Amino acid sequence: MARVQQRLASRRPSVSTAAGRGEHRGVDEKRGLTTVAGLSLVGGFLETYTYRTRSGVFANAQTGNVLKMILIVLGERGESLFPCAWSLILFCIGVLLAERMKEHGHEECEWMKLEMIVFIWMGMIPSSSLDFLVTGGVSLLCAVQSERFVRLPTTICTGNIRKAVRCREKREGREPLVSIIGFVIGAVLGVWTTRRWEHRAVWILVPVVWMLAKKKERRKRLSHWIGCAFK
């Protein structure tokens, strides 16, 4: 009987272990909110950026593009159907690409570094007939981001508003609320910066994504260290 009690006691986590894990969860939650806020800011910025500087296309969330395509087909808008359709096609390709990335286990930090390169490239292309290259790239990036790396939508507000209103617990309502605020700030920032710097305004996202990638790397190292310490 004594041996059985000893075995059961050895299997129970110590108070220090539980406290350490609880502290880790608190750190993880704070850094998770930072990531949600940052990615939502990027999403809101890209939405206004492509709309104002790239042929009026919503290259982030596709609801606006579908609506515009319907209006164009019905003759309500005298615009070309190609930019919106191209953005939608690239978004679908991005979703399929995200599924392949799940199978091969690509890290989010690697994808963020690729995003920085794409943003630099986008700022070098002036508003012209080549806008479809930029909007297609944004649609593909946003599709992978929303499908592969983020458990909470950072490119749309409808679902987050619903979740924020329905959440009864304060902790559950933080993420959707932070995402909404980040998206609005990003959208406003996109309008202000494109007024002054036009297509080059996208360069301000490079340091934002760089900081998010660094946070991800530190978070991964911290999780690995704590996991080893409390095994």
Task: Tell me the per-residue pLDDT of 176-213, one tens digit each, with 9 for 90 and over.
Answer: 888 889 999 999 999 999 999 999 999 999 999 998 88
Mean pLDDT for 42-55 is 91
Task: Tell me the per-residue pLDDT of 149-167, one tens digit each, with 9 for 90 and over.
Answer: 655 555 567 777 777 777 7
Mean pLDDT for 18-34 is 50
pLDDT > 90? residue 10: no
For residues 212 and 69, is the Cβ–Cβ distance under 8 A?
Answer: no
pLDDT reported for residue 175? 81
pLDDT band at 39 (very low <50, low <70, confident <90, very high): confident
Tokens of 187: 């959208």
Task: Tell me the per-residue pLDDT of 111-153, one tens digit each, with 9 for 90 and over.
Answer: 788 889 999 999 999 888 789 999 999 999 888 877 766 555 5
Note the pTM of the prediction, 2 decimals.
0.76
DSSP codes joined into one string, 84-112: HHHHHHHHHHHHHHHHHHHHHT--HHHHH
pLDDT reported for residue 107? 66
Give the domain ranges of the chain: 38-229
pLDDT > 70? residue 95: yes
Question: H helices then E strands: how many in the chain?
Answer: 9, 0
Q: What is the mean pLDDT of the chain?
A: 77
Phi, psi torsion values for 63, nearest 5 degrees: -60, -45
pLDDT > 80? residue 4: no
For a pLDDT cut of 70, what percent of the chain falls above it?
71
Which residue type does 1 have?
M
Task: Tell me the per-residue pLDDT of 67-81, one tens digit each, with 9 for 90 and over.
Answer: 889 999 998 888 888
CA–CA separation, 226 vs 147, rounded Å?
28
